């Protein structure tokens, strides 16, 4: 190892001594700058430095056939300044090398995680495959910027997608980066979706069952060819449960003495307890009697099983669609029965907190979407103030 006053011309003539695999040459004009000469003829610039703890490190600057002497000196001084400020370039480089690409993070961390608890994980998978991976798959997580997110969000909307469709991409990206930060993923120190607002959505249709519609629907399901529909629909209305929760319900989940239904697996991935009203208990009693009469349902573990197979229904759309059309409710959805349940509770004076717990919502703002109040209820509420004062401020009717 020798110290040499390097020049551009000198650099071209330097070569590794015969019989040696490599030789190191120090630049006399730049502290820490090292040139490695190899038997093969290759030459590489390095910075040799000591960390704050006295550890000797060597950092590769680059190929001397590409990086000139002046460039190597400039880069060496920049790196030495970082070292003086307490930043170890070797550790910085190591960290950068450990930052995963978006595609790798999705494959190795995100998808295995959501498949473990999220029943609707296939929706995320579809959004990623069709929209997000083509955009960001080859990018490193720390390379994705807020500008990238805004561009993705706006272009999706400009392509003709509804506001809700564009928002779904933003929500998924926000969740992905929140998880990356929570898991202390290398290189991810901030969420690029922070501060990017959702598009306003005005397409949420809230539909509730009126008393007259309920009577027509009841008559229609009684005439249905499906033997279980007349039990499934009331169960949805009386409990506010989701369709799949009812179709997959087991007898073992019900405690009829304590009057509760433990739904072990639901949309949130957590078990919840649904109180059973007297109407539900009567309905379950009727279903059990039907089980005793239908051969394939004797000792069946499923409450609302298909009498033909003894297994839960895969879908009940045809029977439901026929019944709702007979009732004059062609646009009424099964999920609207859940809306109706919440509306009935609110109109009866139950609190949003109570409705939230029964429906199994994790956030009260979700429950507020269902908290429809009938016009009569609002009118009665508005009249309360005047009634409480006993008519003191009543306006007298002028005599003609």
User: pLDDT, tens digit, for every residue of 68-101?
Assistant: 999 999 999 999 998 988 888 888 787 778 899 9
For the chain, give the percent of residues with pLDDT over 90. Answer: 57
- The number of beta carbons lying within 10 Å of the beta carbon of residue 233 is 24
As a whole number of angstroms, the distance between CA 189 and CA 347 comes to: 47
Q: Are 236 and 368 found together in one domain?
A: yes
pTM: 0.52
Pairing, β 33-38 against β 22-27: antiparallel
Q: Are 253 and 372 found together in one domain?
A: yes
Within a domain: 191: no
User: What is the distance, to the nearest Å, from the Cα of residue 194 to the centroid of all Cα atoms in its chain?
Assistant: 15
Q: Are 328 and 223 found together in one domain?
A: yes
Q: Which pLDDT score is estimated for 72?
A: 95
Q: Which pLDDT score is estimated for 372?
A: 53
Q: Which pLDDT score is estimated for 153?
A: 97
Within a domain: 286: yes
As a whole number of angstroms, the distance between CA 6 and CA 16 comes to: 15
Q: Are 353 and 244 found together in one domain?
A: yes
Confidence of residue 112 (pLDDT cuts 50, 70, 90): very high
As a whole number of angstroms, the distance between CA 49 and CA 91 comes to: 13
Of 65, 97, 129, the domain-final residue = 97
The helix (run of H) or strand (run of E) holding residue 148 is helix 146-158
- The number of beta carbons lying within 10 Å of the beta carbon of residue 245 is 22
Within a domain: 129: yes
Q: Which pLDDT score is estimated for 201?
A: 76
- Domain of 29, CATH number, reads 3.30.160.390
SS3 call for 367: helix
Instruction: Give 288-314 as a DSSP string.
Output: HHHHHHSGGGTT-SBTT--TTTSS--S
Tokens matching residue 93: 């480089």
- Domain of 337 in residue numbering reads as 211-378
Residue recorded with tokens 């998978």: 125
pLDDT (tens digit per residue) in 113-122? 999 888 778 9
Q: Are 305 and 370 found together in one domain?
A: yes
Q: Are 15 and 121 found together in one domain?
A: no
Residue 188 and residue 148 in contact, taking contact as beta carbons nearer than 8 Å: no
Q: Does residue 230 have a pLDDT over 60?
A: yes
Q: Are 221 and 355 found together in one domain?
A: yes
More confident residue, 42 or 208: 42
Among 312, 381, 317, CA closest to 347: 381
As a whole number of angstroms, the distance between CA 77 and CA 271 comes to: 60
Within a domain: 63: yes
pLDDT (tens digit per residue) in 165-178? 999 999 999 999 99
Q: Which pLDDT score is estimated for 395?
A: 46
Of 66, 97, 128, the domain-final residue = 97
β-pair partners for 3:
26
Number of domains in the chain: 3
Q: Are 248 and 349 found together in one domain?
A: yes
Confidence of residue 1 (pLDDT cuts 50, 70, 90): low
Q: Are 218 and 367 found together in one domain?
A: yes
Of 182, 201, 235, the domain-final residue = 182
Measure Cα distances from 164 to 70, 169, 172, 202 in Å. Answer: 55, 9, 12, 9
For the chain, give the percent of residues with pLDDT over 70. Answer: 87
Q: Are 247 and 276 found together in one domain?
A: yes
Q: Are 234 and 370 found together in one domain?
A: yes
Largest CA distance in the chain: 126
Q: Are 223 and 138 found together in one domain?
A: no
pLDDT (tens digit per residue) in 345-392? 777 777 777 777 777 777 666 666 655 555 556 556 666 665 665 655
């Amino acid at each position: 190892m020798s110290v040499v006053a390097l020049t551009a011309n000198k650099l071209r003539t330097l070569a590794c001594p015969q019989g040696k695999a490599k030789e190191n040459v120090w630049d006399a004009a730049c502290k820490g700058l090292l040139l490695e000469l190899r038997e093969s003829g290759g030459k590489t610039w390095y910075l040799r430095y000591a960390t704050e703890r006295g550890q000797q490190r060597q950092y590769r600057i680059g190929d001397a056939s590409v990086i000139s002497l002046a460039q190597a000196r400039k880069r060496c001084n920049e790196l030495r300044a970082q070292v003086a400020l307490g930043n170890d370039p070797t550790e910085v480089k190591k960290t950068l090398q450990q930052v995963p690409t978006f595609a790798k993070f999705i494959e190795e961390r995100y998808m295995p995680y959501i498949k473990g608890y999220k029943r609707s994980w296939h929706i995320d998978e579809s959004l990623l495959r069709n929209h997000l991976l083509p955009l960001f798959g080859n990018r490193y997580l720390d390379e994705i910027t807020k500008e990238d997110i805004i561009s993705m969000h706006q272009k999706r909307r400009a392509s003709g997608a509804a506001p809700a469709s564009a928002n779904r991409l933003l929500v998924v990206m926000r969740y992905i980066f929140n998880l990356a930060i929570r898991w202390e993923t290398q290189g991810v120190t901030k969420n690029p979706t922070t501060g990017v607002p959702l598009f306003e959505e005005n397409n949420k249709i809230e539909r509730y069952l009126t008393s007259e519609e309920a009577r027509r629907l009841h008559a229609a399901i009684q005439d249905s060819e499906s033997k279980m529909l007349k039990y499934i629909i009331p169960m949805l209305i009386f409990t506010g449960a989701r369709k799949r929760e009812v179709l997959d319900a087991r007898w073992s989940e019900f405690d009829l003495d304590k009057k509760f239904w433990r739904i072990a697996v639901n949309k949130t991935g957590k078990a919840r307890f649904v109180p059973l009203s007297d109407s539900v208990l009567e309905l379950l009693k009727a279903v059990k009697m039907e089980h005793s009469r239908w051969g394939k349902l004797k000792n069946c573990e499923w409450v609302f099983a298909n009498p033909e197979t003894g297994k839960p229904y895969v879908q009940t759309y045809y029977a439901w669609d026929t019944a709702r059309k007979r009732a004059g409710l062609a646009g009424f959805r099964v999920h609207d029965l859940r809306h109706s349940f919440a509306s009935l509770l609110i109109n009866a004076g139950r609190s949003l907190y109570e409705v939230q717990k029964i429906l199994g919502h994790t956030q009260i703002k979700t429950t507020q979407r269902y908290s429809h109040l009938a016009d009569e209820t609002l009118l009665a509420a508005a009249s309360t103030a005047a009634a409480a004062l006993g008519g003191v401020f009543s306006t007298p009717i002028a005599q003609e």
